[in-house]
Structure 1
């Protein structure tokens, strides 16, 4: 039985950028666009050319996405202007994007109050803008803003906006629940009416989460005939957020009601990377991942001791609606010794660490993990540090080198141009098989200076770490006050593009950082099979 194709449209970089506290850099945007493309998303909306320098620069060059349609967002021509003399429209047409998504009012009230124009001029603006983009060879989408509220006020006008977009050549007419207040049964009823006038395979849904129903509304629209879904990673978006693609994607893939009828562009192996994708976005934004997020949260498949835990240990399906591994997550059974052992064994298997199940050192590893996590370590976010902790406890990490001393100084001074600058200087003393090596380096901060000094000369191990670089550095304060405990996460990358994360925890931020730096270097030596 053939299945219908559903298309996924991601607006993390545009609508998600309106989240309070979120500010994507140009580098962030490029990383996230590639992440979405690799996941299998059909459309990646990069932002609004002309709205800010970052978005304008982002659209100044091709992004080289392999399969996703790179999309620019912007307004239809302004009332009273022609398509040929509207600066905003001109910038959209000049953007290096495969598609253009226009936002257009579809509520009579919004046209009158917000645009202060007539219904006829609004329809003409839609018609002219779609025509101008089509003439430039672009695929065109039209976000019918306030569609559901507008339909409830004046269904004839709301429909005329959507029909004008479609008849003018728009590939997708997207029905927007802009204020986020429409109920799922209303969405389903209204979309069923719309697809009587516009083919469902040209209709999309854009839902906001103000009543915690954005995902439900999106699925209701699909049931009613819509075939494109717009959303964001982790549900980012203004106010309460947008439909969460990290919840939507596994539901469409794993729930029989949808999986039997529809197919999406996310293959099974990419579905299994969903947790990693979700965490990568949180890491880029330096946000704490929501532990209770459906499918991808660290608590999504957690069971405590008691009758639930007992049942899960007998058969996971007793309390799991899908397999956690299908989305890249894993189950945890908390508190009991048996549960702790089960979790650690699973983690060791994921890290490809060979072990004997009756090895008494496993108990020591479990206790060590419990103590460290109580002190602030979070090995869920630091795969490489867990790997090293396990290998050390099981006696499988040689002492490649020993740091005998390190020192960091930060001073403020004037450069040759008379400009006041802050410079950090680090000195690291290491012992490699009895040979003492001392390296010094300057950096733009104490951690950068330490990183450079540590990796400047490791004797016979230097060739294994020459391709390493520190690509991200995140600090989180675990409690308040001047004596706060600090958690540092460092992400490193090697010459092959492999990335890993290490962790350090200490009341002293420099000490925490150095712990993470050390683990990063040692992990690279272990993975490179460097001789001890």
Structure 2
């Protein structure tokens, strides 16, 4: 191994400055627990001098009894012309009861004279006094040199002098911040090397992603001698975000040989990234490196043929190392290898050179041409393959459905009612149900018809519903693609429907979802007389 690199997570502070991200105290506590389990070394909880929510967090986080991570409070150097013991911001850090304080100060002479409106000498005193005050109260102090790289490029001697003052005052770590995110990796590497030669202190890096170089700059800094990396989970943060720790950690550990977290903790990386994205209510990009659902997904037939022989042909690491998994997508680019992979995954008996396999490929390509996408609808794909090979039981068939949408002045809002007619075995079943919209009404009616025969349907619910216009130039006459995600007590699945009519597309996806949910489920042959809410015709 190449040595130890420490991870400082600022998701709860810098990450919350990202647009659209707002975390409650409960959210922050849940995330802190997950970060501790992941094995990060420091968790920056917030700025206790700025709001009551962060004060509450620092009080309640003590009860979590974290096993590894240290909680850090954030703040700034003292105000100009003031004594540190009189500075409310510094005293709030002490009152928070943390072990670690992270304070930032100015490294760029331009900021000192224009933003702080003080002298270069007073800024040096502010840095020294603030670090020393916190050290005198037995805190571990991390000094964040704000705008360091811009400051170094403007006035290298002054920028270095600010670091020397922090070191002289006893700072445990000195972190170089690319606050504007505009520095390139070769510049980072050269400047960090100079700092490591000049300042006999432990050095860290805090990179922003404004040039999409947050991860690259963090790795370059480590190569140059930095031993702490600051960042956020999924790269959350102000403007374009911070260095993404979800990419930093595996790159450091798997590619560069540094000791960061344990192998078991690394295998939880995907789960942690997705958990935090759910708490933050921010959809995680499917193509996010290492942890995205598409990170190890293969679509082109040549690629799939190769990975079936050996995964390394098109995968830079084994997906399980970071808790992810290999996926094969079936689409208009699919060859026989893609279909064979899915067939084997489903334990279906279809020889590669069979007519059924060739027919399935052609059917998939024809449907993709019409606007279907099966790469995000594995359940619909499985139904199609089962049907093509005679492995699909006809649980029910749809005879017809009708939607009634009524707005009446003597009733509040719009009332939607669905009438569904389906065939189950030798019985025709009519059901009627209301809903808060056409899709909900159809869902309720179809569920009402099926649950008397298949009680297991009660455990299934719709988890997500997405509509995408396929060809915008046709305006309101355009085809739409509907993706429905459904869940039961143990897993989730997705289905797809396509039509110029959004209700028809939704119905297709809904019916597929129910058909998939009932695969392998036992039918209860209840006498018709016990189902008075259904209209039934016996054949």
Is TM (by shorter chain) over 0.5?
yes
> Which residue of 1 is the match for residue 457 of structure 2?
465
> Which residue of 2 is the match for residue 355 of structure 1?
349
Deviations 1:348-388 (A, max 9, x none): 44x44343434542323322332333333333333433333
Give RMSD over aligned pairs.
5.1
Conserved? CA contact 2:331–2:368, under 8 Å:
no
> Which residue of 2 is the match for residue 530 of structure 1?
521
Tell me whether 1:442 sits opposite 2:435 in the alignment: yes
Q: How does 1:61-100 map to 2 (within 5 A)?
A: 69=69, 75-76=75-76, 79=79
Could you say which structure has the larger radius of gyration?
2
> Which residue of 1 is the match for residue 478 of structure 2?
484
C-alpha separation in 2, matches of 1:119 and 1:491: 59
C-alpha separation in 1, matches of 2:23 and 2:366: 37
Match of 1:263 among 259, 268, 282: 259
Match of 1:396 among 391, 400, 411: 391
What secondary structure sits across from 1:379 in the alignment? coil
- C-alpha deviation, 1:146, in angstroms: 0.8
Go from structure 1 to structure 2 and tell me whether the alpha carbon gap of 1:494 and 1:305 turns closer, same or farther (over 3 Å shift): closer
Conserved? CA contact 1:103–1:142, under 8 Å:
yes
- C-alpha deviation, 1:142, in angstroms: 4.5
C-alpha separation in 2, matches of 1:91 and 1:30: 20
> Which residue of 2 is the match for residue 215 of structure 1?
215
Go from structure 1 to structure 2 and tell me whether the alpha carbon gap of 1:244 and 1:435 turns closer, same or farther (over 3 Å shift): same
C-alpha separation in 1, matches of 2:269 and 2:362: 29
Go from structure 1 to structure 2 and tell me whether the alpha carbon gap of 1:463 and 1:34 turns closer, same or farther (over 3 Å shift): farther
Go from structure 1 to structure 2 and tell me whether the alpha carbon gap of 1:453 and 1:312 turns closer, same or farther (over 3 Å shift): closer
C-alpha separation in 2, matches of 1:36 and 1:323: 23
Tell me whether 1:379 sits opposite 2:374 in the alignment: yes
Conserved? CA contact 1:405–1:430, under 8 Å:
yes
- C-alpha deviation, 1:126, in angstroms: 5.5
Conserved? CA contact 1:473–1:490, under 8 Å:
yes
Conserved? CA contact 1:104–1:126, under 8 Å:
yes
Which blocks of at least 5 consecutive residues in structure 2 are unaligned?
524-539
Conserved? CA contact 2:142–2:173, under 8 Å:
yes
C-alpha separation in 2, matches of 1:475 and 1:55: 38
> Which residue of 1 is the match for residue 509 of structure 2?
516
Deviations 1:246-292 (A, max 9, x none): 5434433432xx12xx122263685597499579959964586459x
- C-alpha deviation, 1:79, in angstroms: 2.7
C-alpha separation in 2, matches of 1:85 and 1:415: 66
Deviations 1:30-75 (A, max 9, x none): 9987876776655566777898999999889669697785968754
> Which residue of 2 is the match for residue 370 of structure 1?
365
* TM-score, structure 2 normalization: 0.72
Deviations 1:10-41 (A, max 9, x none): 55676566667x55676998998787677665
> Which residue of 1 is the match for residue 185 of structure 2?
184
Q: How does 1:76-475 map to 2 (within 5 A)?
A: 76=76, 79=79, 101-119=102-120, 122=123, 141-159=142-160, 161-162=162-163, 172-195=173-196, 202-232=202-232, 235=235, 238-255=238-255, 258-259=256-257, 262-265=258-261, 267=263, 271=267, 274=270, 285=282, 289-290=286-287, 298=294, 321-323=316-318, 328=324, 330=326, 340-349=335-344, 351-358=345-352, 359-410=354-405, 421=413, 424-433=416-425, 434=427, 436=429, 438-443=431-436, 445-456=437-448, 458-460=450-452, 463-475=455-467
Tell me whether 1:495 sits opposite 2:489 in the alignment: yes
C-alpha separation in 2, matches of 1:59 and 1:428: 55
- C-alpha deviation, 1:226, in angstroms: 1.8
What secondary structure sits across from 1:216 in the alignment? helix
Go from structure 1 to structure 2 and tell me whether the alpha carbon gap of 1:467 and 1:299 turns closer, same or farther (over 3 Å shift): closer
What secondary structure sits across from 2:395 in the alignment? coil
Q: Indicate the larger mover: 390-399 or 38-47.
A: 38-47
- C-alpha deviation, 1:521, in angstroms: 3.6
Deviations 1:407-438 (A, max 9, x none): 4455567799xxx7555554545544426252
C-alpha separation in 1, matches of 2:346 and 2:144: 47
Conserved? CA contact 2:451–2:458, under 8 Å:
no
Q: Indicate the larger mover: 477-486 or 405-414.
A: 405-414
Give the length in aligned residue pairs: 514
Go from structure 1 to structure 2 and tell me whether the alpha carbon gap of 1:140 and 1:465 turns closer, same or farther (over 3 Å shift): farther
C-alpha separation in 2, matches of 1:128 and 1:457: 74
Go from structure 1 to structure 2 and tell me whether the alpha carbon gap of 1:449 and 1:59 turns closer, same or farther (over 3 Å shift): farther
What secondary structure sits across from 2:115 in the alignment? helix
What secondary structure sits across from 2:180 in the alignment? coil
C-alpha separation in 2, matches of 1:326 and 1:14: 29
* TM-score, structure 1 normalization: 0.73
Go from structure 1 to structure 2 and tell me whether the alpha carbon gap of 1:460 and 1:426 turns closer, same or farther (over 3 Å shift): closer
What secondary structure sits across from 1:179 in the alignment? coil
